[in-house]
Structure 1
Amino acid sequence: MSYLEFSKQAFVIAFYLYCVAFIFYVVAVTGKTWRNRDPQKHERKWGRISFVTSSLGLVSHLLYCGTRWASSGHIPVSNMYEFMSFLSMMIMIAFTIVFLIYRKILLGMFAVPIAIIIMAYAAVFPQDVQPLIPSLKSIWLYIHVSLAAAGESFFAVGFVAGFMYLLRSVPFGDNDKSTRRQKWWIEFTFFSIIVLVGFIISVFAFRAAGYEATFASNSTEIDSQVQQDSTIGKVVYKMPPIVAPYQSETENVQSFLGMDKPLFEAPSWMNGVNAARKLNTIIWAVISGALLYGLIRLLIRKPIGTAVSPYLKGIDADDLDEISYRAIAIGFPIFTLGALVFAMIWAQQAWGRFWANDPKEVWALITWLFYSVYLHLRLSRGFQGRRASWLAVLGFLVVMFTLVGVNLVISGLHSYAGTD
């Protein structure tokens, strides 16, 4: 068996072990309320089983990383599949470190699903080993990307602990204006996560069905004397086209639920070859996420935050606040070195400048400034509790936009995501 085949199997095994570990963490937390159960004994037993299972998943994940590295000859972070897989592994490493310090079983019930979702998101992208483009052939690839991912993984743990703090401390039984607003934002955070899950499900569903639609996108080029129409190229959709590319011709559209043509054309300012396809993907993500969210609400018959909150009543809110702060405090200097300092050194070597206002660079700086403000407010202004937790949640949303939105939506020097 080749290293590449072994890495693929190790990735799948890690994914399933994480899923099983998540189920065990849920049993460890919710099973304390079952009849004839000693809560402490039950939590210790299932907490130990859960942690061992997630640790085995991490071992398999590390084997994936090592064998893919051996097969490609470079650290597996050169495209979106590899980087998101690497990020999910780093999140599990960060979670393991924080868990060994604080021993909070409930943390696994929230952190492990984040790693699972990011792994599933990674699997959406092409998984073939791709040769490095010239600008990536540098030792700084190893230093810059791995440290940036390590810092972001601790930000993810800070997000998890901060979000848990909000679920623990917000009085869901009250109905005053401030509480209603906080409950709405908590529910919106759940909805945002479910939208990503719905997107992943819809991608694999349409991929399994072999769905495909093809458009020929055209533009007009003007020479000094001659006006000439030229075809940019074909645009292939893997999801039913709600939005057609700007000024395109339909070549082939498979019918889906009676929809055999796009509902509308992308506006003129979205005239990039893949701009409409990306907008179409975003629309399908929102639709599938909304349907999944509606199904969950139908099953539990209450807001998700209200349903989850009671399971956090037995945990000390101050511990969650401390975990969130410590995780971000650990991740910040690592992110500073990886995403800013070493990134600028690499940029100088690769492109002859330290800074060029590239979208990825700008958003990395925004992320760094945001967490700088968080730590400043935390240390000098006494920002703790809910205010600090809301900042931890918002900060990770900024991180995810930097990772996903910039790579896939905004064009720039870092747009080498390897998407279909």
Structure 2
Amino acid sequence: MFVISITGKKWSNRDPEAHMKRWSRFAFGVTVLGIASQIIYFITRWIYSGHIPNANMFEFMTLLSMMIIVGFIIIYIIYRSAGTGVFALPVAFIVQAYAMVFPWEAEPLIPALQDNWLKIHVTTAALGEAFFAVGFATGLMYLIRTVNFSGTSKKERRSIKGVEFTIFVILVVVGFIGSVFLFNGMDYHAEFSKDVIVPAEESELELEQVTTENVEYTLPPIVKPYNSEIVSMDSYFGIQKPLFEAPFWMQGVNAGRKLNTVVWAFIIGTLLYYTLRLILRKPIGASIQPILNDLDPDDLDEISYRSIALGFPIFTLGALIFAMIWAHIAWERFWGWDPKEVWALIVWLFYSVYLHLRLSRGWQGSKSSWLSVIGFLIVMFTLVGVNLVIAGLHSYAGV
């Protein structure tokens, strides 16, 4: 609906401006209905589970999706820019779809999560990241709007490759979501067993022990865990056994499954990207650009900057200050160099540099937009990569 509102000038035979306003109001009204349904879900799940729904990946990503819409609504009310919804709402939709690949069940909180500071920490961090998401969406819109896709200079080719790579990364995430839904719908299942050495310091008997652990796959095992045996495996596309074994240095029982997930994400994402390229017969960004031609690049640049400027102090409070207060209550220390803490600090430092360059060096336009895009990719790695790949005290979020 937002796309229709900003493209109406090209095909409305009556009053293009009235058409744009009418469809913008209609699209915004539907967005408000959407956020109302999310808020009702949030409240009812809170009542049902007995705790604020932000304790695992499904709940947190759902909360982040809701906060992205809240951030978009605030920005829309300030700037009345229908174009912002063209990319901001799909980002929220992808985040919500990503949440749906995780277990939905409401579970009791572990002791470390049973504190009000957790609620404040996670909620404000999500709101700050939501404004970063809006800044990312409008920054990417600016780049697609201004890049010369027919240019041949080195700088222009580099910009085209950068935009296409960003779109490719988004499609990889979509590919991961799609593959999980596809094979879950097919009720796919595979299971492997693996001998795991338990060090003496971690053993109750204070002796080195060897235990057998099983790992279940819901995606077909292109890669199986290192030095593991097949317990059961459904065939897929006529394939009866895994194609590869995880490298020897991937010793964790879940390492092979995580690598397998990454492989599937890249396979599906690559197929999506090149299928679209084949259908469109030109870069995907070049196909999107005509939709954005009526938008003022300076407005997009300003909205991107203001979104990040709004999100930064909220993120500072939620992801750093409130997080340290909660860490002291849960683990009796303010800072412990846990991977999630380190990457939250990296995100904060990156956006600090962004604001410094924007305000003191006058970095506007494409430079500022590239930073907004890169910054949110770092945010997503912090949310996805750190939670699901790197072990740490925040690993509960990857259940």
Structure 1 residues 383 and 70, CA gap change in structure 2 (3 angstroms): same
Quick check: 1:213–1:252 contact (8 Å CA) kept in 2?
yes
The match for 2:322 is 342
TM-score of the superposition, structure 2-length normalised? Answer: 0.96
The match for 2:55 is 78
The match for 2:146 is 169
| Identity fraction in percent | 59
CA RMSD between the two structures: 1.7
The match for 1:96 is 73
Q: 1:378 aligns with which of 322, 347, 358?
A: 358
The match for 1:355 is 335
Mark the runs of 5 or more structure 1 residues left unpaired by the alignment: 1-23
The match for 1:306 is 286
Per-residue CA deviation, residues 181-218 of structure 1 (Å, 9 max, x unaligned), is: 01101001111111111111110110010100110011
Q: What letter is aligned with 1:180? A: R
Q: CA deviation at 1:222?
A: 7.7
Instruction: Give yes or no for the alignment of 1:26 onto 2:3.
Output: yes
Quick check: 2:52–2:119 contact (8 Å CA) kept in 1?
yes
The match for 2:392 is 412
The match for 1:396 is 376
Q: CA deviation at 1:322?
A: 0.8
The match for 1:273 is 253
Q: What letter is aligned with 1:133? A: I
Counterpart of 1:417 in 2: which secondary structure? helix
Q: CA deviation at 1:220?
A: 4.5
Q: What letter is aligned with 1:139? A: N
Distance 1:373 1:306 in 2: 30
Counterpart of 2:230 in 1: which secondary structure? strand
The match for 1:152 is 129
Counterpart of 1:82 in 2: which secondary structure? helix
Mark the runs of 5 or more structure 2 residues left unpaired by the alignment: 202-206
Quick check: 2:127–2:311 contact (8 Å CA) kept in 1?
yes
Task: Note the 1:50-65 alignment, pairs <5 A.
Answer: 50-65=27-42
Quick check: 1:218–1:229 contact (8 Å CA) kept in 2?
no
Instruction: Give yes or no for the alignment of 1:213 onto 2:190.
Output: yes
Q: 1:242 aligns with which of 195, 208, 222?
A: 222
Instruction: Give yes or no for the alignment of 1:331 onto 2:311.
Output: yes
Q: What letter is aligned with 2:70? A: I
Q: CA deviation at 1:418?
A: 4.8
Task: Note the 1:184-263 alignment, pairs <5 A.
Answer: 184-220=161-197, 230-263=210-243
Q: What letter is aligned with 1:73? A: G
Distance 1:219 1:201 in 2: 32
Distance 2:379 2:265 in 1: 19
Counterpart of 1:127 in 2: which secondary structure? coil
The match for 2:82 is 105
Counterpart of 2:333 in 1: which secondary structure? coil
Distance 1:27 1:298 in 2: 25
Q: CA deviation at 1:229?
A: 7.2
Aligned residues: 395
Per-residue CA deviation, residues 30-86 of structure 1 (Å, 9 max, x unaligned), is: 343236354222212211111111110000001111111111121110000000000
Structure 1 residues 246 and 294, CA gap change in structure 2 (3 angstroms): same
Q: What letter is aligned with 1:230? A: V
Of residues 211-220 and 24-33 in structure 1, the stretch that sits farther from structure 2 once superposed is: 24-33
Q: CA deviation at 1:174?
A: 1.4
TM-score of the superposition, structure 1-length normalised? Answer: 0.91
Q: What letter is aligned with 1:186? A: V
Counterpart of 2:105 in 1: which secondary structure? coil
Distance 1:176 1:340 in 2: 43
Quick check: 2:192–2:215 contact (8 Å CA) kept in 1?
yes
